[in-house]
């Protein structure tokens, strides 16, 4: 099956732009939050609550929209998600009270959850099985691209204008992506089927979604979510607080994180081949690297250069793990027609971990140091490795 109006390359390019745009409209908070705190617009607790609201709404949205993504037209879901992402950012740019900003950022989170499941489902339908891992990995690199652009656009907007434009510009880009998807992205034809056949399809999908192979991975996915989104949320505040950096220096250090996030996504196909096409082996190696990089932060003060090297490697390793959990593994369910549903479950677990931890971290950081972040990330990496190891042995039948 191929799209009616778009070639595979055009479909991929438009999908890449659409998904990158929502990260531009998400990572802007990384740069804007220290400025908003300094200007008295938000407190650290409120910033943590914003992250928590985003992750909570995103995780619930992933669970709901993951199932809907296997049933509804992709164009409608993706365009709607982009539209409401744009509206949320544009409204925050008006700098309403903190309570309204919190609600709008939660709407932004739910809106962004409407994209990845339908996009990955259409990728599985439009590309041969042998290309799924490579194509999904390349599409996932839009996260890194969008993150880099989000930080650079927000920093430039604040430097040349003010913090409002850190939300206005991403909102306009998301709106442009919404219009492009609605105009040019064709929805796949919906297959009509009898009620009995529909019930059998639903029963089959439910059986796959409740399999131990899938469910055992939800815990390491949750732990990886704590690492992935809290790194993005707190890295700017960490460098500003620990090293007293100005905005230009802060932007230079912070942008290295999404650069290496992008690198992690781009090198995934190579690492995947080196690990004999075993995504779980890739994840264990990446999580081991994360645990090792956390050790210096668990000790006494670390120089800024060493800190950015360790956090950069951590970002790349998280990106590699993210590719396995949220891109490669779900495409294995394409033949049973529940790619989007699997993505929804994995993403729900990922952001459930993020929502709980970001609120907790916000409160703890107002009373303590950033060492609590790094100690907890070390522990969670070790536990994630353990659960993946258990999963592999259950899969091989070595544990009853």
Q: What is the pLDDT of residues 343-356, one digit of tens each?
A: 888 888 887 787 77
CA–CA distance, 53 with 68 (Å, rounded to integer): 22
Report the range out of 203-207, 237-241, 314-318, 322-326 with the highest average pLDDT.
314-318
pLDDT of residue 3: 45
State the greatest distance between any 2 C-alpha atoms of the chain, in Å, as a whole number.
65
Per DSSP, 369 falls in state -
Residue range 112-117: average pLDDT? 90
Element (H, E) at 32: helix 8-38
Separation between Cα atoms, residue 379 and residue 291, nearest integer Å = 8
Statement: residue 4 has pLDDT above 60:
no
Please give the sequence-ordered ranges of beta strands (E in DSSP) within 195-265, or none if there are none.
none
Q: CA angle, corner 278, sides to 284 and 321, nearest 5?
A: 40
What is the set of domains in the chain, with CATH numbers?
A: 8-185+196-395 (1.20.1250.20)
d(CA 272, CA 289): 16
On whether the CB atoms of residues 167 and 155 are closer than 8 A, the answer is: no
Checking if the pLDDT of 200 tops 80, the result is no
Rounded to two decimals, the pTM is 0.71
Looking at the chain, the whole-number percentage of residues with pLDDT higher than 90 is 28
Report the distance separating Cα 82 and Cα 90, nearest Å.
Answer: 12
Residues 6+ apart with CB under 8 A from 162: none
Radius of gyration of the chain (CA): 20
What is the average pLDDT score of the chain? 82
Length of the chain: 400
The mean per-residue pLDDT over the stretch 182-189 comes to: 72
Range of weakest confidence among 77-81, 178-182, 315-319, 359-363: 359-363
CB 316 within 8 A of CB 260: yes
Q: CA-CA distances (angstroms) from residue 247 to 52, 64, 94, 253, 258?
A: 25, 39, 22, 10, 17
**So what's the pLDDT on residue 192?**
47
Contact 127, 53 (CB under 8 A): no
User: What span, in angstroms and rounded, lies between the C-alpha atoms of 166 and 150?
Assistant: 9
Range name among 8-12, 93-97, 254-258 with the lowest pLDDT average:
254-258
């Amino acid at each position: 099956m191929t799209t009616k109006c778009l070639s595979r390359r055009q479909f991929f390019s438009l999908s890449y732009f659409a998904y990158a745009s929502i990260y531009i409209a998400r990572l802007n908070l990384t740069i804007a939050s220290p400025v908003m705190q300094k200007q008295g617009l938000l407190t650290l607790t409120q910033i943590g609550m914003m992250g928590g609201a985003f992750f909570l709404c995103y995780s619930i949205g992933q669970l709901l929209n993951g199932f809907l993504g296997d049933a509804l037209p992709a164009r409608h879901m993706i365009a709607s998600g982009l539209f409401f992402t744009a509206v949320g950012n544009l409204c925050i740019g008006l700098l309403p009270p903190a309570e309204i900003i919190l609600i709008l950022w939660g709407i932004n989170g739910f809106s962004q959850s409407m994209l990845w499941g339908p996009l990955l489902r259409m990728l599985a339908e439009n590309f041969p099985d042998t290309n799924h891992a490579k194509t999904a990995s390349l599409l996932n690199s839009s996260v890194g691209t969008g993150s880099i652009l989000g930080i650079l656009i927000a920093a430039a907007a604040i430097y040349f204008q003010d913090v409002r434009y850190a939300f206005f510009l991403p909102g306009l880009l998301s709106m442009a992506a919404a219009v492009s998807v609605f105009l040019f992205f064709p929805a796949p034809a919906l297959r009509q089927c009898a009620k009995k056949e529909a019930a059998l399809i639903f029963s089959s999908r439910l059986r796959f979604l409740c399999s131990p192979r899938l469910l055992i991975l939800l815990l390491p996915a949750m732990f990886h979510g704590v690492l992935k989104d809290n790194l993005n949320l707190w890295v700017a505040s960490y460098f500003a607080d620990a090293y007293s950096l100005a905005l230009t220096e802060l932007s230079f250090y912070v942008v290295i994180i999404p650069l290496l996030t992008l690198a992690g996504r781009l090198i995934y196909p190579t690492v995947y081949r080196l690990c004999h096409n075993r995504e779980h082996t890739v994840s264990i190696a990446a999580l081991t690297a994360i645990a090792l990089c956390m050790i210096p932060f668990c000790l006494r003060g670390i120089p800024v250069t060493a800190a950015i090297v360790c956090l950069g490697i951590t970002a790349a390793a998280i990106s590699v793990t993210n590719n396995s959990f949220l891109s490669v593994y779900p495409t294995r369910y394409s033949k049973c027609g529940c790619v989007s549903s699997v993505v929804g479950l994995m993403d729900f677990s990922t952001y459930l971990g993020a929502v709980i931890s970001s609120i907790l971290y916000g409160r703890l950081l107002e009373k303590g140091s950033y060492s609590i972040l790094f100690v907890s990330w070390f522990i969670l990496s070790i536990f994630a490795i353990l659960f993946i190891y258990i999963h592999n042995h259950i899969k091989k039948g070595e544990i009853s």
